[in-house]
Amino acid sequence: MKKINKQIMKGLMISIIVSSSAFLQAQTITEVIEAFNAGAELVNGGTFEEAITKFEECIELATQLGTEGDEMKTNAQAQIPALHYRIAMDLYKAKDISGAIVKFEDAVVACDKYGNDDIKSKSEKYIPQLYYVKGNDHLKNEEYEDAIMSFDKAIEGIPNYTRAYYGKGMVYRKTNEDDKMVELFTKTLEIGQSPEDDKYIEAASIYLRNYYRDKAAIAFNAEDYTAVFEMANKSLEYDSEFSDPYYYMARIYNKDLEYDKALENAQKALDFETDEERKPRIWFELGNAYVGNVEYEKACEAFSNCLVEPYENSARYKMENVLNCQ
């Protein structure tokens, strides 16, 4: 009798274990469905961060369930990258650039984890553009180290990002780091190809042109005429119709008594000069070159065009006492 009772008890225990397992499995699938539905309701209510948490909970429960939870797991996984992207876009539209960057980066991580090549591609396109915007904000606020970091992140995402290289160049211009400025503006010119790059190419060219023009002026004042020619010609590489380099070279040729070359360069300077107030200085060099070439009538005409300070006294003296201009 005792032996029979033991067998009955053993069978009852097995039955209880099987029933408990079935109950737990049913309970788990219910929890999976409830977690997914709760996530969907949160999406409809616009609380996307909380929805992500619920879908992640759904995924965890479905994973514990095994193959029976695979369908719900797949459905929950599909929601998460899209929600990160949606949050990122909302922050972007609200001009929360830093917040948008974080969420686009979260979207990329979610896409790697759960899959979604389309959202990953879109997010990766936005991230460097937003770092560029952030870099510009730092530049405007004179936060130069932060600006460099943001521009570098932009370039990391888009290696030939013309405007980001230009932005870095502007930082170094502001901080008077000339060598780095030249390097970055030169890079801007090298990689700029699309019509969208044109304004950055033009601006970089102007900065480089003026930078070498200024170097030529410094060299002229230091009477380092070899450097003047070098810097003037570098300036003309970025704008062959820039008046200033020709003017400095005309002055040197007059000093060296090479009047034909002085005339050639002074005439180019005059042709390309658009500022009427800056033309008298060029006329003065033309006058000197014509005097040297014994073309007195032309010299008189040139000097008559520069009767303003600081050239007036010298020009009048030559017109009245050297050339006898009529």
Q: Three-state SS across 269-323?
A: HHHHCCCHHHHHHHHHHHHHHHHHCCCHHHHHHHHHCCCCCCCHHHHHHHHHHHC
Q: Counting Cβ atoms within 10 Å, is residue 194 exposed (0-12), middle (13-18) or buried (19+)? A: exposed
Alpha-carbon distance of 65 to 60, in angstroms, equals 9
**What's the pLDDT at 8?**
33
**Which tokens is 317 given?**
């003296």
Among 50, 82, 115, which residue terminates a domain?
A: 115
Q: How many domains does the chain contain in total?
A: 2
**What's the pLDDT at 1?**
41
Is 309 a domain residue?
Answer: yes
pLDDT at 39 over 50: yes
pLDDT at 11 over 60: no
pTM for the model stands at 0.81
Please check whether residue 81 is in contact with residue 107, taking contact to mean a CB–CB distance below 8 angstroms: yes
Please check whether residue 88 is in contact with residue 55, taking contact to mean a CB–CB distance below 8 angstroms: no
- Which domain CATH number covers 322? 1.25.40.10
The predicted-structure confidence for 243-279, as pLDDT tens digits, reads as follows 999 999 999 999 999 999 999 999 999 999 999 999 9
- pLDDT class for 167, splitting at 50, 70, 90? very high
pLDDT at 287 over 60: yes
Is 27 a domain residue?
Answer: yes
Among 115, 132, 166, which residue terminates a domain?
A: 115
For CA atoms 104, 105, 106, 110, the dihedral sign is positive
Among 87, 115, 143, which residue terminates a domain?
A: 115
- For residue 196, the one-letter residue type is E
For CA atoms 254, 259, 262, 267, the dihedral sign is positive
